[in-house]
Amino acid sequence: MENQGPNLSTFFRRGGIFYAVPGAQPRSVLVHLTGLLPGLADREELLQAVFEREDLMPTAMGNGIALPHPRNPVIHREEAQFAALAFPENPLDWAALDGKPVHSVILIVSASAKAHLSVLQRITFFCRDGEFCRLLESRAPAEDILGYVEKTETGWI
C-alpha cells in the first residue's frame, strides 16, 4: 500500500483509544465515546451527523468491527481530523451483515471526502490483517495497537 494521505496512527493518536465504553446500544456507546474525545468543538453536531449516517445503513463492517462516521465533513481543518478506537464494555448488536456482535468501534472524523476515503482505505487494510484483528479482539494495550499500526505504515512506500 502506498504511503499517501493521513496515517492511521496519527489519526488514532489525535482521537484516542478508549476501553470499557459504556452503553447497551450503538447510539449510547457513541454518546459516551464522543464525551471522552479531547478537544472536540461540537459534540452534538458530530453525534447528529453520525446518527444520520447510521440511520441510512449501520456501519458495522463485520468481524466485530464498526466504522461509524459522518456522511459529510463536520470539521474543516486537516490537523483536526481523527479516528477514535473504542472498546465497548460488552459486544453490541450493530446489525452487521455477518451477524457478529461488535467488539471494536472506530469513529472516523475527516475534513474532506478525499481524506476520509484515504483513512478508510487504511482502516479496511488493517481490518483484514490477522494480527491487527487479534489486537482489537483481545483489547490489547493502546501502545501495542499504535506500535503495530505505526510499524506497518512505516513499511509502506
42 found inside a domain: yes
67 found inside a domain: yes
What CA–CA distance (Å, rounded) separates 57 from 125? Answer: 21
123 found inside a domain: yes
Judged by phi (left if over 0) then psi (alpha if -120 to 50, else beta), residue 121 lies in: alpha
pLDDT digits (tens, 9 = 90+) for 37-53: 988 878 999 999 999 99
pLDDT at 2: 52
Burial 122-154 (b: 16+ CB within 10 A, else e): bbeebbeeeebbebbeeebeeeebbebbbebbe
pLDDT at 54: 96
CATH code at position 34: 3.40.930.10
Could you tell me the residue range of the domain that residue 142 belongs to?
A: 8-154
2 found inside a domain: no
148 found inside a domain: yes
140 found inside a domain: yes
Looking at the DSSP bridge assignments, the partners of residue 105 are 66, 86
Looking at the DSSP bridge assignments, the partners of residue 94 are none
pLDDT digits (tens, 9 = 90+) for 89-118: 999 999 999 999 999 999 999 999 999 999
125 found inside a domain: yes
Based on its alpha-carbon atoms, the radius of gyration of the chain, rounded to whole angstroms, reads 14
Closest CA to 64 of 86, 83, 92, 45: 92
16 found inside a domain: yes
Q: Count the domains in the chain.
A: 1
Least confidently predicted of 36-45, 63-72, 132-141 = 36-45
What CA–CA distance (Å, rounded) separates 142 from 74? Answer: 26
